Chains A and B, each alone.
Chain A
Amino acid sequence: MLDSLISQDLKMEKEKQPDEIVTTGVLESLQNFIRKCIVAVLSYGPMPRHIAFIMDGNRRYAKSRSIKEGAGHRVGFSALMASLLYCYEMGVKYITVYAFSIDNFKRDPTEVQTLMELMEEKINELLENRNVINKVNCKINFWGNLGMLSEPVRLAAQKLMASTAGNAGLVLSVCMPYNSTSEIANAVNELCAERRDMMQREHAGSSNGRAAGSGAHSDISVADLDRHMYTAGCPDPDIVIRTSGETRLSNFLLWQTTFSHLQNPEPLWPEFSWRHLVWAILQYQRVYPYIEQNRIQAKKQL
């Protein structure tokens, strides 16, 4: 069932529609069988629950293949859909992707416009044709300052979030437009507003003779801020993969990645494929004991 959605030819440069990803033939069936065997072996060890991707390298990919920049992003979208399905096959429950940074608004306005149009087009495609979403029972979140998006994109994103809110399968969180420092500032704003409302309720309660609570008066803690991050309810990423070999996080999930294994494979995002994902998980499995020990120790100290 899932096999029919996973393409065998991710080296194709032209854009693929998610519901056009099909596998046929004996050779492809054999490849699928081998892939399943490898996943079964991999699953003997610890598997990550949450993988975050910084999808870097779309423009360089387009340049290296002498195609238009926009086409590079389209191939990048195909790579995202393929990675989503591979992660589902491997039992990864949460995927977070850095689709658009607030800093990216500094790019050439034509490029930003092209990206926004691409995002709107892809979101509307997912709304109309729900093959991929339904097969993995995907819940889609859009994390970021959605107010900075143009209205059509924002409305499409909100519609997609609403239509998948009830799904209980794989959770895909798309960060756009996002940065970590903005997320932290937003959490502080929400916390202040929450405490203001609590104080108003306490004031109203005390004037009716009811006892006041202490919630609004205690110091703000790390746990309070955690509750107001976009990622509340989602476990911290086990692996953060930034493709194209770059070594920085570029203001992505800085709060949530304390014990995440940071990886920076050389392939550009459109080139990221199943074997790169397998390699990433193998690397994670080698460092898992250290990461887990640190996580447990940190929890004890809380």
Chain B
Amino acid sequence: MMVKLILGFLWYLIHLVISLFNLWSHLCNNLECYLISSELLPKFRNLRLEKLKYLGVVVDSREANNILKVKQLLWWLSTIGVKNVILYDVEGVLKKLLEPGIKASRDRNSRNSINVSANMEASHFSHGGMAVECLSGSDGKEGIAKAANLMYSDFCNCATHGSAKSDIIFTEADMACALRAAGSGGAEPDLLLVYGPVRCHLGFPAWRLRYTEIVHMGSLKSMKYGSIVKAFYRFSEKYQNYGK
């Protein structure tokens, strides 16, 4: 009992020291973000975004309810020059909150006779010249299960039409096609910003996360413009060899 108390005390002490260390890092980070936002650090002034074709943003579902913060984030991203954003939260809060924008986009497309697939219409809209796609947990593992069902139907059809069943082996390319047909295809983000307490991808669609750089940004309510610029700068300096 006494030993357990001592171990508990030491454990809490270690974590207290780490908290103090994290607080210090947080303060230094805040200072750096302020300097970046004020354009006082030369290297962050001219961002090169050629490599950043698609940006993913994962938001913790509880924090995603703060629609003002989400809209501010989208405004910052469009100001910086991001062209395509993929928003994601596990519970689909963002899809629900941004539904008016999605609906307006759908109406615009139908007025302009732009043909967009029903699946894409359900989750895309435009925000200040930036294309935004909203995803949720149902686009993750469940999306892959839907694609698997399509592939299984093909498998059964081939069997019915007399092809040798044992010869059918689906490849990753077949899987990618099935995902597109099931409405769970789409571009892979080059960079994924995670807004939440923890660096987790929270079930972002697996097929779109293969080589994505994943950066933890902290909580949405304390998001900083300078942090985004720093993340983009570090991304622009990255080199990927894709396994080579």
Residues of A whose CB lies within 8 Å of any CB of B are 40-45, 101-104, 106-107, 179-182, 184-185, 188-189, 191-192, 195-196, 219-222, 224-225, 247-251, 254-255, 257-263, 282, 285-287, 290-291, 294, 298
Given contacts A45-B11, A107-B244, A180-B210, contact A188 B141 (CB under 8 A): no
Complex interface: chain A residues within 8 A of B15 (CB)? 45, 282, 285-286
A-B pairs with the 7 shortest C-beta distances?
A103-B243, A254-B206, A44-B11, A258-B203, A287-B198, A251-B210, A220-B148
Contact (Cβ within 8 A) B142 A261: no
Bound together, the chains give a CA A17 to CA B207 distance in angstroms of 39
> Across the interface, do B155 and A192 meet the contact criterion of CB distance under 8 Å?
yes
Report Cα–Cα, A103/B244, bound state, in Å: 7
Q: Give complex CA distance A282, B151 in Å.
A: 44
Cβ of B153 to closest chain A Cβ, rounded Å:
10
Residues of B within 8 A of A258 (CB): 140-141, 200-203
- Assembly CA distance A255 to B152 (angstroms): 20
Apart from A188-B151, A188-B175, A263-B199, what are 18 other A-B pairs with CB-CB below 8 Å?
A: A41-B10, A45-B15, A103-B244, A181-B206, A184-B207, A185-B172, A189-B170, A225-B148, A249-B201, A250-B243, A255-B141, A258-B140, A262-B214, A262-B216, A290-B197, A290-B198, A291-B198, A294-B202
Least distance between A275 CB and chain B CB atoms (Å): 13
Looking at the complex, which one of B7, B152, B171, B212 makes contact with A185 (CB distance below 8 Å)? B171
Does residue B41 face the partner (Cβ distance < 8 Å to A)? no
Partner of A225, one of B145, B197, B200, B203: B145
Chain B proximity of A300: nearest CB distance (Å): 12
Q: Which chain A residues lie closer than 8 Å to B209 at the CB level?
A: 249, 254
From residue B25, how far is it (CB to closest CB) to chain A in Å?
Answer: 13
Q: Are B148 and A247 interface neighbours, CB within 8 A? A: no
Say yes or no for B8: interface residue by CB 8 A criterion.
yes
* Cα distance, A241 to B223, chains bound together (Å): 25
| B window 1-53: CB within 8 A of A | 4, 7-8, 10-11, 14-15, 18
B165 / chain A contacts, CB cutoff of 8 Å:
196
| Closest Cβ–Cβ distance, residue A18 to chain B (whole Å) | 28
Contacting residues, chain B, for A180 (C-beta < 8 A) = 206, 210
What residue of chain A has the Cβ atom nearest to residue B216's Cβ? A262
* Residue among B142, B148, B159 with max Cβ neighbours from chain A (10 Å): B148
Number of interface residues of B (CB under 8 A): 50
Task: Tell me how far the C-beta of A298 lies from the nearest C-beta in chain B, rounded to whole angstroms.
Answer: 8
> Interface on B for A, CB 8 Å cutoff?
4, 7-8, 10-11, 14-15, 18, 90, 140-142, 144-145, 148-149, 151-152, 155, 159, 165, 168-172, 174-175, 196-203, 206-207, 209-216, 240, 242-244
Contact A247 B214 (CB under 8 A): yes
Contact B200 A260 (CB under 8 A): yes
Please give, as numbers and ranges, the residues of chain B lying within 8 Å of A294 by CB-CB distance.
90, 200, 202
A–B complex contacts, Cβ < 8 Å, 8 sampled? A41-B14, A180-B210, A192-B170, A196-B155, A255-B141, A261-B199, A286-B18, A290-B198
Query: How many whole Å from A217's CB to the nearest CB in chain B?
Result: 10
Q: Which residues of the other chain, A, contact B144 by a CB distance below 8 angstroms?
A: 184, 222, 225, 255
**Chain B positions within 8 Å of A219 at CB level:** 145, 149
Most buried by B among A185, A222, A250, A259: A185
Expressed in whole angstroms, the Cα–Cα distance for A282 and B175 within the complex equals: 39
Q: Are the CB atoms of A250 and B211 closer together than 8 Å?
A: yes
A182 pairs with B172, CB closer than 8 A:
yes
Q: Given A44-B11, A248-B240, A254-B210, do A195 and B200 touch, yes or no (CB 8 Å)?
A: no
Smallest CB-CB separation from B143: which chain A residue?
Answer: A222
Which residue on A lies nearest to B141, using beta carbons?
A: A222
A261 near B141 (CB under 8 angstroms)? no
**Which of A43, A192, A263 meets B151, CB within 8 Å?**
A192
- How far, in Å, is A210 (CB) from chain B's closest CB? 22
C-alpha gap A182/B141 in the complex (Å): 15
- Whole-angstrom distance from the CB of B227 to the nearest CB of chain A? 14
Q: Which of B196, B243, B244 has the most CB of A within 10 A?
A: B243
Of the residues B90, B155, B214, B244, contact of A248 by C-beta under 8 Å:
B214
The answer to whether A184 touches B206 (Cβ under 8 A) is yes
CB contact under 8 A between A40 and B7, given known A188-B175, A262-B214:
yes
